[in-house]
């Protein structure tokens, strides 16, 4: 497949890139600092230097023939407001221009959905994120609302909401669905990336954003 990955220099995006290349996909990445990419990966991918908040940069990173887009951009305290939401709008515009439809997104478990099991643990995750990770929580919530709304009606999107995402080995054994979760639920970066790549060709969770956890 011909793929574009956003956020490839982050821990999750790095795993998405590594696994996509190892699987033989033709991968383009848009990164602000290409030097942050491991040389052995950079030489196997098409690397575009730019910013996902620039519509022109995003358009360069989604060429004709693109089959799918993986969104692994993270948010920290230094990120601009609405980073992920605004970047997603640019991505959708570029996807439409080349006829690409598949979009796989990584969000967060603090963004509670009606399908989630209502537990004290889930409510605590939401409270903690709103209180201590407000910027990230707001942006990912707005991004999720964009996906669920009319702006994404022509996009075949799928999402994952990890809880604690930590470094660790790939287990290949994890749960995806609207299962009960808490602040102790976790997933390693390689397994989250593995699930995202699997969603490129699996419609099980089309237009849904389940929790991923062990």
Q: At 167, which CATH number? A: 3.40.50.720
- Tell me which residue of 178, 183, 176 sits closest to 104, measured CA to CA: 176
Question: Is 70 exceeded by the pLDDT of residue 133?
Answer: no
Q: Give percent above pLDDT 90 in the chain.
A: 74
Domain count along the chain: 1
Strand order of the β-sheet with 102-106 is 46-49, 26-31, 2-6, 68-71, 102-106, 156-162, 211-213, 175-177
| Model confidence pLDDT, tens digit, residues 141-182 | 889 999 999 999 999 999 999 988 999 999 999 999 999 988
Block residue for tokens 């989250």: 192
Q: For 20-44, what is each residue's pLDDT tens digit?
A: 999 999 999 999 999 999 999 999 9
**Using one digit for the tens of pLDDT, what is the confidence trace for 44-53?**
999 999 999 9
Instruction: Determine the Cα angle at 113 with ends 159 and 192, to 5°.
Output: 30
Q: Tell me which residue range forms the domain holding 122.
A: 2-213
Q: How far is CA 105 from CA 39, 74, 122, 144, 213, in A?
A: 26, 11, 21, 9, 16
Is pLDDT above 80 for 130? no
């Amino acid at each position: 497949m011909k793929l574009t990955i956003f956020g490839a220099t982050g821990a999750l995006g790095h795993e998405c890139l590594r696994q996509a290349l190892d699987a033989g996909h033709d991968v383009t990445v848009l990164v602000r600092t290409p030097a942050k990419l491991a040389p052995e990966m950079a030489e196997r991918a098409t690397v575009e230097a730019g910013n996902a908040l620039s519509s022109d940069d995003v358009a360069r990173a989604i060429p004709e023939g693109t089959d799918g887009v993986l969104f692994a951009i993270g948010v920290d305290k230094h990120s601009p407001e609405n980073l992920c939401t605004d970047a997603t709008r640019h991505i959708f515009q570029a996807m439409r221009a080349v006829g690409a439809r598949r979009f796989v997104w990584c969000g967060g478990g603090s963004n509670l959905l009606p399908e989630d099991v209502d537990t004290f643990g889930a409510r605590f995750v939401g409270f903690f994120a709103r209180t201590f990770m407000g910027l990230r929580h707001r942006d990912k919530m707005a991004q999720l609302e964009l996906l669920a709304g009319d702006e994404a009606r022509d996009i075949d999107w799928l999402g994952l909401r990890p809880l604690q995402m930590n470094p660790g080995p790939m287990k290949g054994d994890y749960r995806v669905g609207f299962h009960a979760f808490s602040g102790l639920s976790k997933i390693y970066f390689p397994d989250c990336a593995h699930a995202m790549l699997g969603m490129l060709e699996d419609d099980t969770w089309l237009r849904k954003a389940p929790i991923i956890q062990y």
